[in-house]
Amino acid sequence: DVKVTQSSRYLVKRTGEKVFLECVQDMDHENMFWYRQDPGLGLRLIYFSYDVKMKEKGDIPEGYSVSREKKERFSLILESASTNQTSMYLCASSLLLVAEQYFGPGTRLTVT
Amino acid sequence: GQQVMQIPQYQHVQEGEDFTTYCNSSTTLSNIQWYKQRPGGHPVFLIQLVKSGEVKKQKRLTFQFGEAKKNSSLHITATQTTDVGTYFCAGGNTDKLIFGTGTRLQVFP
């Protein structure tokens, strides 16, 4: 079974803090993704990576950066958290860019 | 840019009633996928359609891909309380999968 894990289910941070969200997959997938999910807005792609050290901006990359130093691990970084980044963050991985995606359980981030 | 719209945004049904959600793309898709997200859970892949006009069934769920490969639907026959959740379509083109906004289904017993 494919497993995608995320470092925290819930996180509370203060405005201006640097925040790291970690995602690990165990299926040797080339592609990994970070989404944020907000009510009524569906899943919005922040960044994705198609290989180690490779990254591409998604639809809403502003205020975020990513790191992929190892194939199984994809990190999302909020350089200076703001209240409008309070959201559910979902990581996913897939074998091909348009193939089935496997999602992690999500991290609910609250920025106060 | 490419968009994938999904309607309705919300649907409340009585248990036993049918339910349909529709997905429309502004461009031709190579494939369409459907996911289900239970309350408090994460999206889970249900199915993928690839061919024009394709119809697939999973028990009470029927999935269709339009002839022009720009739209799709998910129909649930005789809903049950276990069908509660948000259903997402995701349309693929050459190098991207774009998720629709989702339809949240509530089933009243």
Placement of tokens 């350089």 in the chain? A79
Which tens digit of pLDDT belongs to each residue from B83-94?
999 999 999 987
pLDDT of residue B93: 84
pLDDT of amino acid A39: 87
Distance, first Cα to last Cα, chain A: 37
User: Residue B77 burial by CB count (10 A; 0-12/13-18/19+): exposed, middle or buried?
Assistant: middle
**Which of A40, A42, A97 is closest, CB to CB, to B97?**
A97
Judged against a pLDDT cut of 90, whether residue A51 lies above it is answered with yes
Question: Is the pLDDT at A35 greater than 90, yes or no?
Answer: yes
Per-residue pLDDT, A2: 65
Please answer yes or no on whether B100 and A106 come within 8 Å at the CB atom.
Answer: no
What is the chain B residue with the closest CA to A90? B42
Q: Is A79 within 8 Å of A15 (Cβ atoms)? A: no
Q: Which of A9, A98, A101, A107 to mutate to test the interface with B (most CBs of B within 10 A)?
A: A98
Residues 6+ away with beta carbon under 8 Å from A59: A44, A45, A46, B1
Considering only CB atoms, which chain B residues are within 8 Å of A105? 41-42
Q: What is the pLDDT of residues B38-91, one digit of tens each?
A: 999 999 999 999 999 999 999 999 999 999 999 999 999 999 999 999 999 999
Q: For residue B48, give the nearest of A92, A100, A105 by CB distance.
A: A100
Residue B2: is its pLDDT beyond 80? no
pLDDT-derived band at B1 (thresholds 50, 70, 90) equals: low
CB pairs < 8 Å spanning A and B:
49
Other CB atoms within 10 A of residue A84 CB: 9
> Using alpha carbons only, how large is chain B's radius of gyration in Å?
13
For B101, the closest of A41, A90, A104 (CB atoms) is A41
Identify all chain B residues contacting A106, using CB atoms and an 8 Å cutoff.
42
- What tokens were used for B21? 């959600």
Cβ–Cβ below 8 Å for B97 and A90: no
B101 in contact with chain A, both atoms CB, cutoff 8 A = yes
Annotate chain A with three-state secondary structure: CCCEEECCCEEEECCCCCEEEEEEECCCCCEEEEEEEECCCEEEEEEEEEECCEEEECCCCCCEEEEEEECCEEEEEECCCCHHHCEEEEEEEECCCCCCCEECCCEEEEEC
- Report yes or no: B96 at the A interface, CB cutoff 8 Å: yes
